[in-house]
Every structure is written in C-alpha cells, then in structure tokens.
Amino acid sequence: MAPATAPSTTAPSTAAPSAATHSASAPTSKQLRAQVWESVMAFDEAATVAALLRALDDGTNAEDLLLDVIAAVQGRVGREWAANRITVAQEHAATAINDRAVAAVALHPSARTEPTRGRVTVACVDGEWHALPARLLAEVLRVRGWRVDYLGAQVPAPHLVAHLHRTGPDAVALSGSLATRLPAAHATITACQAVGTPVIVGGAAFGPEGRYARLLGADAWAPDARAAAEALARGPLPRPRPGHQAVDDLPHLDDQEYTLVARSRPRLVRAVFHQLENAYPAMRAYTEAQRERTAEDLSHIVEFLAAALYTGDEELFRGFLLWTAGVLDARGVPAASLLPALELLERELQDFPRTTATLRAGAAGLTRTLLTAAGTAE
C-alpha cells in the first residue's frame, strides 16, 4: 500500500543552459513524453535512450529532458500503478529504464558542465527507496555547474554525517517520498546541522507546501528540482542554529504516544488481524497471499498513524486513508473495509488520547468521502 512517487556560490546565471541551437524539427516536450512513454511501457530501453539522445543532438536542453520528459513519464508510471492500470512488475521495469535513461542523458556531451559552483551532497532519507527524484536533482545540479556527491537511496544518518566530515559540502539536499520516513528525516536533518551543514529538503514526504520541512527544522524546502537548484544558486543557505536538538521542534512528543505506537506496530497488526478474523469468518478462507496483503495493509495503517503522531498532524493520516481508499477502489476492494480496522485499532489504543483522536478524525474523513461518492453514484 505504500505509494509508488525532488530535490562557493559565486556562479553564472541561475537559468538552465541555453537551448538556442534547438532544431525547429525537434519534437516538443509533449511529443517526446508520448514517445518515451510508449517505449518505456514496451520495456524498450534502447528505443527510450535513442529518442532522448536524438533530442539532445537536435539541441534540446538536458535539464528539460530530465524534468519535463523523464520525470513526467515517471510520475505517470506512479499514477498508472495507483489506478491499477499497470502491475508492480511493470512499474519496477519502467522505473529501471527511466533511471538508466537519466544516466544516458547525463553522459551526453551537451550535459557535461565543468563545476563552477560549490559542492552539494544529494541523498535519500534512511529507509527511502524511491531514489529517482534525488537522482534527477543531482543531474540537474551538475548541469548547472555544481559539484555533486549523489549517495542514492536510503542513506543512514551516521554514514551521511561521516561523508560530510570528509567532503565539507555547502549543503545537503535530502529527498523523501513517504511520510512514514519523516522521523528518520528529522534525525538526519538535525545530524547534518549539528556538523554545520545546512539542509534543503524536497519530495512528497514533506507535505503540501513543505509543511513538514518547516516543522522538522530544515533550512530550506523546494517543491521540485528546478526550485531547489534556484534556491541553492541564490546564495548560501542559512547556517544551522547552534545547539539545536530534534526534541526542540516537536514538544508534543513528550507524551510518548508516537514512541509507544511505533514500537507496538507488530503487536497491533497481529491483534487487529486476529480480531478481524473473528469478526469476519470469511477471512479464514483467505489464501496465503491475501493474508499477507491484509497484514501489509494493516502495517501501513499503523506506520502512517505513527507518522501523524510524530508530526502532530491528523491531516497526514486522513490523507493517507483517502489515497489508500482510491488504490483499493481501483482494485475492486471496498474502501469501507478500512473502517473496521480503524475501529479495532482505536480499541487497542484507547488509553492514548492523541492517537484515538487521530484515528477518529481519519475514520470520519473517510466516511464522509465514501458517503459523498455513494451520493454521486446515485
């Protein structure tokens, strides 16, 4: 149920390299997106790369190809998976092709830029496997003249900090797609700042308009790779506050509800699964695959509940439930099937006032959405 899918200061203009030599006969970004989509969905890596390299030879800007074509196609891959129009295997294959397409574009002579700016480390939050947004940012920064250390997916904070000690970058660009990784992101942000390195963050994990970036004390937030590159080019990020601790940002964590719920996830999943079986005997006839999928769904619910408790934002949990409802509906599973699980979780966690309030708010929001959908259908 985890969602499938950003980001020395003396430098030249912050604009992307000029595409003045762009051929009048070269395809538009829209045409290229359609062409690349077709080749990616045919699992034709050679055709995908060939189309992109022809566009570069015709004078298309490398940054435009990275963001307006490859990133756009990858975004569509995620939406098609959520809508159940492609399988997990197709999504993985498409992502792999897009990743190699990024490498091909980055190695083209027109994309090779001598570093003239400072140094940036680009990494994903520990536990974050959606690496393509960070990879795209790394290549955009290279095109714009930065020296970039791209560390890839799921980078533990101690290893990242050790790298900062060795290299002394001007900034860390930290990417996260899943809100369940926000506690790890917070620890990483604080650890980087403790050694004097400012952090710019991006990705869906940080919420609409970067609300969780501010909450977790990041030095800057960007909605996409272009905005991140422009923010870095405007000048040095503000230096981190000395002596800042993660606990300073989230005083509501004193109630220990986040810690207790997060640590109890395996027990909660087992308890709720067992109670669902008792309440709905038909579950006992589930295949092993169905049982595993149900347990995974329950685990994701508890993970996002914990993330909402960590941030103190009930909307995070409501948003996850509505997204999940859409994914289930696309697969022919009634979204209302989430409600009994939420009720049982509330019963298990009845001694935790913030937790039960979050569960009730989530269930109420889901119920309103289901009733609205039913009324529209009538």
Are 241 and 194 contacting, i.e. CB atoms less than 8 angstroms apart? Answer: no
Give the pLDDT score at 151.
Answer: 98
pLDDT beyond 60 at 352: yes
Give the pLDDT score at 106.
Answer: 97
pLDDT beyond 90 at 248: no
pLDDT digits 0-9 by tens, 353-362:
999 999 999 9
Distance CA 223, CA 148 (A): 20
Q: Which residue has the higher pLDDT, 14 or 163?
A: 163
Bridge partners (DSSP) listed for residue 120: 148, 171
- The gap between the terminal CA atoms of the chain, to the nearest Å, is 29
Distance CA 310, CA 364 (A): 21
Are 315 and 215 contacting, i.e. CB atoms less than 8 angstroms apart? Answer: no
Distance CA 349, CA 39 (A): 49
Residue 240's pLDDT band (boundaries 50, 70, 90)? Answer: confident
Give the pLDDT score at 284.
Answer: 87
pLDDT beyond 70 at 269: yes
pLDDT beyond 70 at 140: yes
Q: Which residue has the higher pLDDT, 55 or 378?
A: 55
Which DSSP string do the residues of 260-272 spell out, in sequence order? HHHHTHHHHHHHH
Paired tokens of 346: 């509330």
Give the pLDDT score at 24.
Answer: 57
Strands 199-202 and 171-175: parallel
Grouping H, G, I as helix, E, B as strand and the rest as coil, residue 278 is helix
Give the pLDDT score at 145.
Answer: 97
Q: Which of 41-45, 160-164, 179-183, 278-282 has the lowest mean pLDDT?
A: 278-282
Average pLDDT over residues 162-168: 97
Residue 85's pLDDT band (boundaries 50, 70, 90)? Answer: very high
Whole-model pTM: value is 0.89
pLDDT beyond 80 at 9: no
Give the pLDDT score at 258.
Answer: 97
Q: Which of 31, 374, 72, 300 is nearest to 80 (CA)?
A: 72
Distance CA 195, CA 120 (A): 15
Most confident of 6-15, 161-170, 283-292: 161-170
Give the pLDDT score at 238.
Answer: 87
Give the pLDDT score at 6.
Answer: 37
Q: Which residue has the higher pLDDT, 74 or 26?
A: 74
Distance CA 102, CA 271 (A): 45
Edge-to-edge order in the sheet of strand 220-221:
147-152, 119-124, 171-175, 199-202, 220-221
pLDDT digits 0-9 by tens, 293-350:
999 999 999 999 999 999 999 999 999 999 999 999 999 989 999 999 999 999 999 9
Residue 166's pLDDT band (boundaries 50, 70, 90)? Answer: very high
pLDDT beyond 60 at 4: no
Burial of 25 per CB tally in 10 Å (0-12, 13-18, 19+):
exposed
Contacts of 43 (CB under 8 A, 6+ apart): 93, 94, 97
Average pLDDT over residues 111-136: 96
